[in-house]
Amino acid sequence: MAWRTIDRTKVSPEEMGPGLSAAVREKIQAFFPRYPTKQAALIPALHIIQDALGYISLQAMEDVAELLELHPSQVMDVVSFYSMFWTHPRGKKTIMLCRSLSCELMGGKNVRDALVEKLGIKEHETTDDGEWSFMTEECLAACEHAPCMLINEKLHKCVRVEDLNRILSDPDNDKLEMPRSDLFDAPRTAQT
């Protein structure tokens, strides 16, 4: 849970961040027929925005509120509730490491410590070169492969500390090679 309040009179344009492009709007509008209300398209919309921008900027919140006929505060209410949505820019690749019990029992803590040391960042931070962001999550529902972590959309299984150098230096460590639907197609398209 997190609550945030913002004094709108004092927000500079830089802080507002980028808004929605026409393509993103179109993609969001394609979700409208699925639901009886426009509001229901909010979470898919936020996924689409985060895929395009890398995070949910204040401007994007205002834009999507207008698009879905909501108040911006309703959008921020939702953004702040869900742990997958970032309200500040992320690196190109986000590591989401499981910290739940099976992974911890299989050595997840050592992996976390090694990652924090290698990347030199704390949770929810981004490396200076804009490459990596790091966070931990509760169980990723892949406990048979403990300890595991997601890099963007790819799941790395049975990660050992010795493997980390290899995983981090692999340029394809975040790519999911499979037939994919274009409904949610990123974060491939992110940070263009």
Partner 1 sequence: MAFERILMKHVDVPNSTSLSVYKSDGGYEGAAKALQMKAEQVVELVKEANVRGRGGAGFPAGLKWSFLPAERDVTYLCVNADESEPPTFCNRVLMETDPHMLLEGILIAGYATRTTVAYIYMRGEFIEQFHIMQKAIDEAYEAGYLGKNILGSGYDLDCYIHRGAGAYICGEETGLIESLEGKRGWPRIKPPFPAVEGAFRKPTVVNNVETLACLPHIITRGVEWWQSLGPEGSFGPKMYCVSGPVNKPGCYEGPMGISVRDLIYADEFGGGMRDGKKVKAVLPGGFSMGVLRGDLFPKAPDGTVDPAQDYDELDARLDFDDVRRYGLLGLGTAAAVVVAEDTDIRDVLANVARFFAMESCGQCTQCREGSSWMYKMAQRIRGGAGRIADLDVLVEVTQNMGMMPGESICGLSDGAAWPIRTIVQKFRKEFEQHISAQAPDAAAEWIRRVNPAAYGLPIAQGRAEVMPGGTFYRPDSEPDTVEA
| Residues making contact with ligand FES (CB under 6 A) | 98, 100-103, 139-143, 146, 148
Q: Rounded to an integer, what distance in angstroms lies between the CA atom of residue 23 and that of residue 29?
A: 10
Beta-sheet pairing, 93-98 with 149-151: antiparallel
Site string for partner 1, 17-46 (x = CB under 8 A): -----------------xxxx-xxxxxx-x
Q: What residues between 47 and 66 interact with partner 1 by CB under 8 A?
A: 47
Q: Which segment (8-16, 19-27, 135-143, 161-169) binds partner 1 by CB under 8 A?
A: 135-143
Measured from the CB atom, the residue of 60 and 150 that comes closer to ligand FES is: 150
Determine how many CB atoms are found less than 10 A away from the CB of residue 18.
Answer: 16
Q: What residues between 151 and 180 interact with partner 1 by CB under 8 A?
A: 153, 155, 176, 178-180
Measured from the CB atom, the residue of 134 and 164 that comes closer to partner 1 is: 134
| Among 51, 106, 88, residue whose Cα is nearest residue 97 | 106
Among 12, 13, 122, 129, binds partner 1 (CB under 8 A): 122
Task: Please give the C-alpha separations between residue 110 and each of 44, 127, 144, 174, 181, in angstroms, as whole numbers.
Answer: 35, 20, 18, 22, 36
Site string for partner 1, 67-86 (x = CB under 8 A): -x-----x--xx--xxxxx-
* H helix runs in the chain, sequence order: 13-16, 22-29, 42-53, 58-67, 72-81, 101-105, 108-119, 164-169
Give the gyration radius of the chain's Cα atoms.
18
Residue 5 as a binder of partner 1 (CB under 8 A): the answer is no
Q: Which does 84 bind (CB under 5 to 8 A by kind): partner 1, ligand FES, none?
A: partner 1
Residue 123 as a binder of partner 1 (CB under 8 A): the answer is yes
Q: Which does 148 bind (CB under 5 to 8 A by kind): partner 1, ligand FES, none?
A: ligand FES
| 167 alpha-carbon distance from chain centroid | 20
